[in-house]
Amino acid sequence: MSTTAEESYRLRYGAGFEVPGEWSAVLEQQLAHRSVRGYRAEAVGDETLAALVAAAQSAPTSGNLQLWSVVAVRDDGRRARLAELAGDQQFIVDAPLLLVWLADLARARQVTTEIGSATAEGADFVEAALLSFIDVALAAQNASLAAESLGLGTVFVGAIRNRPLEVAEELGLPPNVFPVFGLTVGHPELGNEAAVKPRLPQQAVLHHEQYALEPQLAHVEAYEELLNAFYATAGLPGSWVKRVAHRFGSVAGLKGREHLRGALRTQGFELR
């Protein structure tokens, strides 16, 4: 990459951001993150997959419980079926590898009941579900960063949760395992690289000592202007505010995910 700190921060925050003095190859890789939806036909081999899973397993995990699993999907037909379940997104079909990341309480229940000789009633509570969702998110982010460090492109697929029970059936998931999101992985299509998308100003997300909501509005307005310019350059419809409002302004914006509580319970997550 060999991008300077000034260039990296400018792409992420726009002009005017005071560049910190700290810089490293890891920070350069992190700030260069972008979603990649165009892939070459070149496969992602088993050695690369093993490295990505090793990176995932090196992420923090609460109490070393390791409440997650991942399914690697390479079969063209299965990827196509999953793409349909996830909103008919073509890049899922095009990617040589789809990783479906799972909140996994089944293994912990099995260990508790069959080896630990206990009832596993603690796994019925919201806390257990939260731990599994946090664990899988941390693991997947590690894998994504590792993939990008190897020159691969990735994009997370939250639409896996649009029809999670059908995804669970396609992947043969047992009770107490839930599909949280997908991650496509592949070699970026040359000449079709995505740009680094600006993020909210740090003043909107960084609080000192106590949380402050009201001052964020001015920073949101500044971000709206910055992101509209980015979208205009990319030929995309603008307004971050409208995107947020579309997602949360009505139930329709959830695209089927308003039924997640029921789906979780169907998969054995009691959420007591």
Residue-wise pLDDT for 210-225, tens only, equals 999 999 999 999 999 9
Instruction: Assess if residue 237 is contained within a domain.
Output: no
pLDDT the model gives residue 236: 84
Please list the ranges in the chain whose pLDDT falls under 70: 1-2
Residues 147 and 42 occupy one common structural domain: yes
What is the per-residue pLDDT for 2? Answer: 67
Verify that 16 and 44 share a domain, yes or no.
no
128 lies in a domain?
A: yes
Looking at the structure, do residues 8 and 71 belong to the same domain, yes or no?
A: no
Sheet holding 97-104, edge to edge: 68-73, 97-104, 177-186, 153-157
Together in a domain, 17 and 136:
no
The residue range of the domain holding 5 is 1-32
Residues 55 and 165 in one domain: yes
Q: What is the pTM of this model?
A: 0.94
Instruction: Check residue 1 and give its pLDDT.
Output: 55
Q: Is 73 helix (H, G, I), strand (E, B) or coil?
A: strand
Q: What is the pLDDT of residue 44?
A: 97
Residues 84 and 169 in one domain: yes
Query: Which domain CATH number covers 109?
Result: 3.40.109.10
Which residue among 173, 194, 215 closes a domain?
194
In 59-215, which residue ranges form alpha helices assigned H by DSSP?
A: 76-85, 90-94, 106-110, 126-149, 164-171, 202-205
Co-location of 21 and 148 in the same domain? no
